[in-house]
Amino acid sequence: MSRKDEDTKATEATVAEERIQTGRRGFLGAAGLVIGAGVVSTLPGCGPKPADSTPTPPATPTPTPEPAGGGAHASNEVPPGQLDTYYGLWSGGQSGEIRIVGVPSMRELKRIPVFNRDSATGWGRDDFSKQLLGNRESGDTHHVHPSYHGGTYDGRFIFVNDKAGGRVARVRCDTMECDHIVTVPFGHGTHGIFPQRHHTGLVFCNSEFQAPLPIPGTNPQDPHTYSALHTAIDGETMELKWQVLVDGNMDLCATDYEGKYSFATCYNSERGAHLADMMAAEKDFLYVFNLARITAAVAAGTDVIRLGDSPVPVVDARNANSPYVLRIPVPKSPHGVNVSPDGKYAIALGKLSPTASIVEIAKLDAAFAGTIQPIACIVAEPELGLGPLHTAFDGRGNAYTSIFIDSVICKWNIAKAIAAHTDDTIDPIVQKIDVHYQVGHTNASMSETKDADGKWLIALCKFSKDRFLNVGPLHPENDQLIDISGERMVLMHDGPTYPEPHDCVMVERSIINPIKMMTRNGPRFDMYEAWAREDGITLLTDTRVIRKSDTSVRVYMTSRAPSFALTEFNVKQGDSVQIIVTNQDSVEDLTHGFCMTHHDVNFVVNPQDTRSMTFVADRPGMFWYYCPWFCHALHLEMRGRMFVEARA
């Protein structure tokens, strides 16, 4: 969410609180629909605020009664010993990580550290991740998207953004480890990202914040001279390919299914720096980037500029009539944009307007050619509720939109919404279901692919309020699981999560096939192998202490349950010590690690893996090192001693 959202979030939360006390459905007044969540009111909402603003203690949450006509699933329970149907890939938000959640059980299976430091695995402190992260210690991930082939996931990579540091990372699906992190040049608030869907081609990312960039006419004090960038990264090589310079910031990103366009919602087209200035105009935009024109311009050098000493070509598209970007006017402050699984529609959502703007993708060529106006690409604007943010799909022609202020998921029919545009007797709304509370993203199983299967939907609620045991002022988020397999949505499960998953995708499990034993390839192993060559070492078999200089030592050791091949070594005070451990075990799940006590050194070494960490032996004395992962009956005996000799 943007800072502006955050500003309004508190107000909205208060409003929401009042509504909870006065009968939440009443807020919509006559438009209030009977929703299968047990709270129904036809009273006008927003009654007087009680003098004591302490919320009334909630009654024991009543299970949501859902009548027949609901989904096909009696329960989301996955019995002991059985496996989930989907890999849920969750953004970890401010935690800077990715999480893997089994769906439908909602069991958290793993955390993949990316932009954060992780005490369990040593990520952020081991030599390889330190090289990727530099001195950055934190990140803010929002959007997780796997790579595609032929309109569906190909199970190779996962891409994720870091809004705080303007970065994009890639995780390999075989090892479930991050292998690349790219810093977007001049990427202020890199927010929406989306890969191309016809193959692992480009990954697009949006700068949410406009900023003073090194171009003529820029005044750091004057936000009206700021610009933003739509950036393309090659998903195979993680090289930066090009950037497009625009005015107006960009929020969410999406791609079509054919590789012709990328989309970005643009709010604050006024280029204001304060809330009031950001709300001055009547309309904002959905930007459509014409990829063929942009790549041709980059190849020919037309309209290409350079920013500072960045080598990345930048196409200047700030002119409102630029041939590279189509600006489709939409209601103020759009947020999400999602493309339907049939590839026909891009749906931009209002956030402040209660409507969705449905753009027919087939009309875009005509609009780029100038034969129709950009606004003629909008074929419907159904009214869905207050604060629509994101849309998911079931592959049966229905869309599911998260409605932040109303705290509902609105199920609606796309074809009916288009028909209703010219016939107001048609109601495209199928059902609204309460979610708890203040839903941000929503996503459905395989929703972002042509294989959207309409089984499960997640509502990622920003507030959980009374839904869980009180754990202090910082509440868990509530990622609710909804069965969408039937005509009516049925709420199945409350999923508490550590703040703050922004988005998630659900990938059918046969698509993702992680390995069980480390395959020793990729940039991390390239680094170890280069050291081993230099020192004449075979990593999988050799254990040796090598003094590299007067002040540095490299220690290679293997481990096999329940011992390290090296049980003692000597260094001198002040030495920089690099420990490189290779786990020789080839038994699935037989993970070891290495912890040097009192030196902040602790990392994981999986079967057949190697990992390294470097530290300074700054105090003389004897220090135990041990294996921190319970690997064997004699795990506690798996240890050794480092002797640090004082320097004269």
636 SS3 class: helix
Contact partner, 592, from ligand CUA, ligand RUQ, none, Cβ < 5-8 Å per class:
ligand CUA
Contact with ligand CUA (CB under 6 A): which of 631, 640, 642, 644?
631
Total residues at interface with ligand CUA (CB under 6 A): 8
Task: State the CB neighbour count (10 A cutoff) for residue 242.
Answer: 21
Task: Using CA atoms of 301, 304, 310, 311 in order, give the dihedral in degrees to the nearest 10.
Answer: -10
Which of 145, 293, 462, 592 is close enough to bind ligand CUA by CB under 6 A?
A: 592
User: Which DSSP helix (H) or strand (E) runs through 244?
Assistant: strand 240-246
- CB nearer to ligand RUQ: pick between 143 and 599: 143
CA dist., res. 109 & res. 93, Å (int): 17
Find which of ligand CUA, ligand RUQ, none residue 627 binds, CB within 5 to 8 Å per kind: ligand CUA
In terms of CB distance, is 98 or 317 closer to ligand RUQ? 98
Among candidates 96, 74, 230, 117, which has minimal Cα distance to 160? Answer: 96
**Cα–Cα separations (whole angstroms), residue 406 to 357, 463, 484:** 19, 13, 20
158: burial class by Cβ within 10 Å (0-12, 13-18, 19+)? buried
Residue 143 CB, shortest distance to ligand RUQ, in Å, is 6
Residue 629: contacted member of ligand CUA, ligand RUQ, none (CB under 5 to 8 Å, by partner type): ligand CUA
What Å distances lie between residue 250 and 125, 193, 247, 623, CA to CA? Answer: 33, 11, 9, 53
> Tokens 């159904």 label which residue?
382
Nearer to ligand RUQ by Cβ, of 190 and 340: the residue is: 190
Q: Which residues lie across from 554 on neighbouring strands? A: 546, 578
Q: Compare residues 36 and 640 and give the one whose CB is closer to ligand CUA.
A: 640
**At closest approach, how far in Å is the CB of 48 from ligand RUQ?**
31
The widest CA-to-CA distance across the chain, in whole angstroms, is 91
| Chain residues that interact with ligand RUQ, rule: CB under 6 A | 1, 142-143, 191, 252, 335-336, 389-390, 440-441, 502-503
Contacting ligand CUA within 301-330 (CB under 6 A): none
Q: How far apart are CA 271 and CA 277, in angstroms?
A: 8
Provide the minimum distance between the beta carbon of 441 and ligand RUQ in the complex, in angstroms, as a whole number: 5
- Which residues 546-585 are close enough to bind ligand CUA by CB under 6 A? 561
From ligand CUA, ligand RUQ, none, which one binds at residue 440 (CB under 5 to 8 Å depending on kind)? ligand RUQ
Find the shortest distance in angstroms from Cβ 95 to ligand CUA: 27
Cβ count near 128 (within 10 Å): 23
User: Which does residue 191 touch among ligand RUQ, ligand CUA, none (CB within 5 to 8 A, set by kind)?
Assistant: ligand RUQ
Closer residue to ligand RUQ in complex, CB, 140/316 = 140
Query: Which option in ligand RUQ, ligand CUA, none does residue 631 bind, with CB closer than 5 to 8 A by kind?
Result: ligand CUA
Strand, coil or helix: 350: coil
Stretch that binds ligand CUA, among 152-160, 220-228, 237-245, 624-632 (CB under 6 A): 624-632
Residue closer to ligand CUA by CB (options 155, 628) is 628
Residue 544 in the binding site for ligand CUA (CB under 6 A): no
Q: Shortest gap between Cβ of 639 and ligand CUA (angstroms)? A: 9
**CB-closest chain residue to ligand RUQ:** 440
**Among ligand CUA, ligand RUQ, none, partner that 327 touches (CB below 5 to 8 angstroms by kind):** none
Degrees (nearest 5) of the Cα angle 113, 607, 154? 55
Which of 627, 640, 642, 644 is close enough to bind ligand CUA by CB under 6 A? 627
* CA dihedral sign, ordered 93, 95, 99, 103: negative
Q: Does residue 629 touch ligand CUA according to CB under 6 A?
A: yes
d(CA 101, CA 504): 9
Out of ligand CUA, ligand RUQ, none, what residue 561 binds, judged by CB under 5 to 8 A for its kind, is ligand CUA
CA distances from 585 to 38, 51, 526 (A): 55, 66, 21
Cα–Cα distance measured from residue 426 to residue 432, given in angstroms and rounded to the nearest whole number: 17
Strands 610-617 and 621-626: unpaired
Q: Give CA angle at 279 (277, 285), nearest 5°.
A: 115
Residue 595 binds ligand CUA (CB under 6 A): no
Residue type for position 441: H
* CA angle (572 as vertex; 566, 578 as ends), nearest 5: 55
Q: CB of residue 582 vs ligand CUA: minimum separation in angstroms?
A: 13
Q: Does 639 bind ligand CUA (CB under 6 A)?
A: no
Q: CB nearer to ligand CUA: give 315 or 595.
A: 595
638 is a contact residue toward ligand CUA (CB under 6 A) = yes
Q: How many residues does the chain have?
A: 648
Positions in the binding site for ligand CUA (CB under 6 A): 561, 592, 627, 629-631, 635, 638
